[in-house]
Structure 1
């Protein structure tokens, strides 16, 4: 998914877009908008695995490490701080909502992708229209408290881990398990979840310390 709301997000060229008011928001480092390999053109040009094979244990360890860093950073913020808009129209809590929505999409699309080798059209349509997807998913979670939003993040991660535990080693090691992704499933987890979460964490740190 795109990294920030449409009123303050990076373009695919890495330059910050202007906001609706015409003011250009300060672009946090790294100033290149990370686009997970499911949005935009199909197949996505960056949809390929890492140069070296990644095991599921390595991928899950990396996911856990990044999530631990994110939670430690959020723990230093009060409820009021988490509600304050910090970039475009999004607060810290909105960023967490975005992360939860994206991981929910990944978990929800994975069974059909692995079974059929392609992304179901309804799921595909949602991420092709990424700005609308982001706005709708964040708005749907606006009523949640910080604790509730963190609980959703934990819940969807548990769903992901439970599903991955049901897969056999051959499925994990299979290259190009669906048409839009050329790498293995563990490599996809790194690109679509770990890297996405890492970018948002780095941007929040740059903005708020």
Structure 2
């Protein structure tokens, strides 16, 4: 017959196996991925809390020789009830409760006389003991779930595909740049584009988070490198810090920033081997950690969160914009065929001097600035990406030079 100390030691071992099984898992792994049926690991922990709480109610009744007063339960219904009770509550609360209930059970057992463990009690014409009805069930229960979680973790590792991760990052980056193609600086400063942010703000936001993810990834890969402590206590606070840090950047600086970070992250991913993706470490947001593979997945999926806003904004602004004049359509066609630079230079020559352009555009300062930028670019034999203001300016200059009406 084992002593109370030995029983407690066995229970502590079972609990340590359970905690070892969930150690290092991310919030996403614990709260969104089913491990069997529709149960996540958070649901499993809630289920264990439910049965621990039943033990806390049961032990005093057995010690008072009131085993008949222990209420019956239908196991499946009780499981559903236990899981549902915690479904909408934070993971941190579930973990705190599972530690609390276990500590209370250990305290109750430590106060019991050893002879009570195997004392026979009658419950509805059935003989039970604290050992058979409580202790043995607890030991088997927690170790069983620990083994299931470890098996699930092995299957999860087999699903990681480094080539797919690399492809996902490249695909999301390309989709983003395609979505912002052709936007000029006035457009990207529209504060209504993404809630309270402009497109330029979103570009800086993506770059800043990707930079944090890159630093965290390098630390997970090589723990001797600096980690990436979250610059705030909540995601909202971090977003605000990053926004303030980069809000003074111009559109060109924001794009350069994002392209640089994208390149550095892709270079880092190219150095990884398949086994590296299973390395675990802290994430650059509060109270979370996980695999390098999942961290990189977050980087790719971050674009998916912002692309719909950008798409809707472009559709909304396109619908509100007047139809392009024939001259603007002509400019777009010429740009597409690569003939625009020569045509524009010819128009400038026909207009006589650069000051003629200034006179033509004197009532439209933004277009005048665009004209000067485009003219300087052409002098340097460089064809820029044209925005709407530049298209309008070219149409005016060409029509003026050709003595046409715009």
Q: TM-score, normalised by structure 2?
A: 0.36
Unmatched 5+ residue regions in structure 1? 1-41
With over 3 angstroms needed to count, the CA separation of the structure-2 counterparts of 1:138 and 1:75, relative to structure 1, is: same
1:198 aligns to 2:198 (yes or no): no
212, 236, 254: which one pairs with 1:149?
A: 254
| Greater share of helix | 2
Give a deviation string over 1:87-122, Cα, whole Å, max 9, x none: 4431010011100000000011222223349x94xx
1:95 aligns to 2:202 (yes or no): yes
278, 281, 297: which one pairs with 1:178?
A: 281
1:108 aligns to 2:215 (yes or no): yes
Match of 2:269 in 1: 164
Q: CA offset at residue 44 of structure 1?
A: 5.0
Identify the structure with bigger relative contact order (alpha carbons < 8 Å, sequence gap 6+): 1
Question: SS of the residue aligned with 1:113?
Answer: helix
Match of 1:56 in 2: 162
Unmatched 5+ residue regions in structure 2? 1-23, 34-155, 283-287, 316-406
With over 3 angstroms needed to count, the CA separation of the structure-2 counterparts of 1:181 and 1:127, relative to structure 1, is: same
Give a deviation string over 1:45-76, Cα, whole Å, max 9, x none: 31469867232221111111111111111113
Give a deviation string over 1:130-175, Cα, whole Å, max 9, x none: 2232122222222222222111111111111222233333213x2x
With over 3 angstroms needed to count, the CA separation of the structure-2 counterparts of 1:203 and 1:101, relative to structure 1, is: same
Are the aligned partners of 2:179 and 2:310 in contact in 1 as well (CA < 8 Å)?
Answer: no
229, 237, 244: which one pairs with 1:124?
A: 229
Match of 1:208 in 2: 314
Are the aligned partners of 1:47 and 1:181 in contact in 2 as well (CA < 8 Å)?
Answer: no
Mapping for residues 2-81 of structure 1, pairs under 5 Å: 45-47=27-29, 53-81=159-187
Are the aligned partners of 2:280 and 2:292 in contact in 1 as well (CA < 8 Å)?
Answer: yes
Length, aligned pairs only: 161
CA-based RMSD of the aligned residues comes to 2.9
Q: CA offset at residue 82 of structure 1?
A: 0.2
Rg larger for: 2
Question: SS of the residue aligned with 1:144?
Answer: coil
The 2-side partners of 1:165 and 1:178 are apart by 20
The 1-side partners of 2:261 and 2:233 are apart by 22
The 1-side partners of 2:255 and 2:173 are apart by 11
Are the aligned partners of 2:211 and 2:261 in contact in 1 as well (CA < 8 Å)?
Answer: yes
With over 3 angstroms needed to count, the CA separation of the structure-2 counterparts of 1:71 and 1:141, relative to structure 1, is: same
